[in-house]
Amino acid sequence: MLILVPTPIGNLFDITFRGLEALALADIIICEDTRMAKKLLSLLQERFCIQRIFDTPQKSSSQENLSRNPSQNLSSKILSLNPANKQFFSFHSHNQDEFIAKLDPCIFDKNVIYLSDAGMPSICDPGALFVQYAQAHNIAYEVLPGCCAFVLGFAFSGVESQDFVFGGFLPHKQNNRQKKLLELLRYGLPVIVYESPHRILDSLKDMVQVCSDASIFAIKEITKLHQSFVIGSPQDVLSKLQKSNIQGEWVIVICATPKRQLCLCYDEILALPLPPKLKSKLLAQISDKEAKQIYKELIAQ
């Protein structure tokens, strides 16, 4: 059996009972970073007495079993979070295709779990390929509920909306980042994105350019000791963060009033009587080419 287990994004007490049960029963743990996973299990072992939680006498049929499988007798299992009792394999974005290609379905005769370093597998983290593999090979699998940063960030923001757009991590390059922001904002819905401390200021500068009148809610290190948030326009938030500690992963909620836009295709912009430099910038916004490359093509004509 395969179980995808979400892990705490900061506070260890956010682990669920079902998450602890899956970790305790696991024979094999597949994870992004084996060092992180072993450290997590060791910390959980220190803080929770798993035997007292799960190693109880067989419950009556009227009592709800913690496991979804009512035939599983937890009292007969050896429940341990000691990393020494588990087998660990590393599975991350750089090796996942090769890992899946070499995977033997027989491994799932044992209790196998996959967990991210922090948060929900498959949400801006590997995990989806395991689900596809299980579906293709008729392997029983389960996905446990748990922490997810963008869900918590949206709830923290106080934005009232049944709909929103989740954009994950923004691109690293400025041109691609601005394109992505414009693409997300065109739906006229609240937009939720992730950003690293290394690029948060650059992303806010881009928001000042593409949605200066938006309302921004930016929160860092959710559930951790130094959790904090900032609210305001893109320029307000940028100014505040330039003067403060920006360490930690960020969740940003953007609420912008949709504007009417003039929609022109590539050839229509090409035909406009504009300077080549300005025209190349406009064309770069709607194509895969860089502005510099387009500019060279324009002046060569």
In angstroms, the CA 76 to CA 58 distance is: 9
233-242: average pLDDT? 96
159, 189 Cβ separation under 8 angstroms:
no
Grouping H, G, I as helix, E, B as strand and the rest as coil, residue 192 is strand
In angstroms, the CA 107 to CA 110 distance is: 6
**pLDDT reported for residue 74:** 42
Grouping H, G, I as helix, E, B as strand and the rest as coil, residue 298 is helix
**Size of the chain in residues:** 301
213-241: average pLDDT? 95
230, 238 Cβ separation under 8 angstroms:
no
pLDDT digit string (tens) for 102-132?
999 999 999 999 998 899 999 999 999 999 9
Amino acid at 133: Y
Does the pLDDT at position 31 exceed 80? yes
pLDDT digit string (tens) for 176-207?
999 999 999 988 899 999 999 999 999 999 99
Say what percent of the chain tops pLDDT 70: 88
Does the pLDDT at position 140 exceed 70? yes
Domains parsed from the chain with CATH numbers: 2-54+78-143 (3.40.1010.10), 149-256 (3.30.950.10), 266-300 (no CATH)
Q: Which residue has the tokens 């029963």?
A: 25
Does the pLDDT at position 94 exceed 80? yes
238-262: average pLDDT? 85
**pLDDT reported for residue 263:** 73
